[in-house]
Amino acid sequence: MKAAIIGVSGLRLTAEEAALLRRHRPLGAILFARNVADPAQLRALTAEIRECLGREAPILVDQEGGRVARLKPPHWRAHPPAATFENGPQAAAQATAAAIGAECRAVGLDVVCAPVLDLRLPGMHQVIGDRAFSAEPAEVTRLAGAWIAGLRQSGVQPVLKHIPGHGRAKLDSHEALPVVTASRAELAADFAPFRALGTPDLWGMTAHILYTALDEGRCATLSPSVIAEVIRGEIGFEGFLLSDDLGMKALAGTLPDLTLAALGAGCDAVLHCSGRFAETASVLEACPPLTERALARLAASRGQSRAA
């Protein structure tokens, strides 16, 4: 099983895609709006993917509520963004997350890339904005904890975004590499929700951000020191660590090189989302199998989600 989660092109697998998945056996897939028409179609697509990869293959979706939702009306409910819940009851956040999780699980999506644990800081790029619960680490922790509980209640695996923290970025990492010059002491606030909530049975997604106080030359996704000393060390995250999308413009280099660099830095698996066949093939051809340590982390997380 290769250490990659990949996108696919459309509403059903093409014969070429199915052959590629069977040949290379990536860990799983991630779906986007281009892959979603209605519940029956989506159930058929997730079933096709698992026919290729095995019935336990994780299939991911970004379904946060608000702006970031791949399942939309009229077939699915519109859910509010994280910021809506600030200073409100935890029960409301948990109930919304449980509803999102149930809708996803019903169509074969069992890993939901949420909650966002980034801080909603003033003056920063709105790529995070209302996707974050609050500017206050304690409030983010309180509400994100409820969100995790709600997703688990519905039997889906949460993914914490974007470790070690995207809230100070003044650029959108989809378009360029953000450089954060905050001191290590200032960054402690960003780390706090991940430290509080990052249990070994969760997944985390890295931030494509260069933090000058942590590594002057490499963004977190590609930095062995950030992953070992900060994400695994200071933050203490022991769960399954997934890169953010390798196709984002924050990263420079070929996809095969980025695949090897992210895995070499300490990510357990890489994410590639475009669904463009040649790109997907280049990632999978370069990608090694999951390591024994990554498999152990994966088993711990999957045991939690299956038991829910």
Residues annotated catalytic, as ranges:
174, 244
| CB atoms near residue 30 (< 10 Å) | 24
Residue 80 per-residue DSSP state: -
Q: How far apart are CA 144 and CA 203, in angstroms?
A: 14
Q: How far apart are CA 19 and CA 214, in angstroms?
A: 42
Are 152 and 304 in contact by the 8 Å Cβ rule? The answer is: yes
Cα–Cα distance list, 238 to 83, 207, 225, 231, 267 (Å): 27, 17, 15, 9, 11
Q: Two tokens at 55?
A: 């019935």
- Residues contacting 203, CB < 8 A, separation 6+: 111, 157, 158, 159, 160, 239, 240, 241, 242, 301
Q: How far apart are CA 165 and CA 280, in angstroms?
A: 27
In SS3 terms, 174-197 reads as: CCCCCEECCCHHHHHHHHHHHHHH
Q: How far apart are CA 284 and CA 276, in angstroms?
A: 12
Q: How far apart are CA 26 and CA 216, in angstroms?
A: 32
Q: Give, in degrees to the nearest 5, the angle at Cα 84 between 74 and 199.
A: 95
